[in-house]
Amino acid sequence: MEREAVKVLTKHFSRGNKKLGKDTLIYNPGGAATDCVAAKLGFCRVAPICYALKPERWHAREVLPYRRRQAALWQACSVRDFSDAVLRRRDRARVGCIDMLRLSESADFVTQRDVDKAASVATILAGEGLVSYCYTARTDLDFTGCEHLVVNGSDFMPDAPLSNAFCVSENPTGIVCPGDCRVCNLCRKGRRLVIGVKYH
């Protein structure tokens, strides 16, 4: 019999968005951008123009509580329950395949415990053929144990085995993010690249 925690978690993943394809599940362990710890602690340089705040302001009655529920569920669930919920969503997908999990679309990791938990989830999912990746501005946290989690740093290169640095600017140079994840996979593979991102 399926555990109740897995059933509840399964309802709190979104699938794709305007930039991400339907091959990607999205979950926000840190919850809402309104509550983002990285912004509150001064780690996030782009907090004043954070794109994740927009839907929380425009659709506050739906989006803000939903993201806060995601954070509460993340804190309460086990690594096994969370991983099983991802696999349940993947296995029950009616159209197309799901082979990626994006963590932290709207807010950053809250504590080191969250990083360690995400790393454990990524290890389980890697064994099932799924890629897990995230973005963070938390230069104060330790990502060395993230063996299977691709960690994309905001203006810094994380110490994770699989990592990239994303640098936001008005006129990015070098390798530049195309802004459409359906045609690019740079952030899903930790190649220690420095990638430019245009303000959006």
Q: Do the beta carbons of residue 198 and residue 37 sit within 8 Å?
A: no
Domains: count for the chain = 1
| The pLDDT of residue 2 | 57
| The pLDDT of residue 1 | 38
Domain of 58? 4-198
| The pLDDT of residue 197 | 87
Average pLDDT by stretches of 10, the chain with 200 residues: 81 85 92 95 89 84 93 97 96 86 95 98 98 97 98 96 91 85 87 86
Closest CA to 68 of 108, 30, 121: 30
Prediction pTM value:
0.93
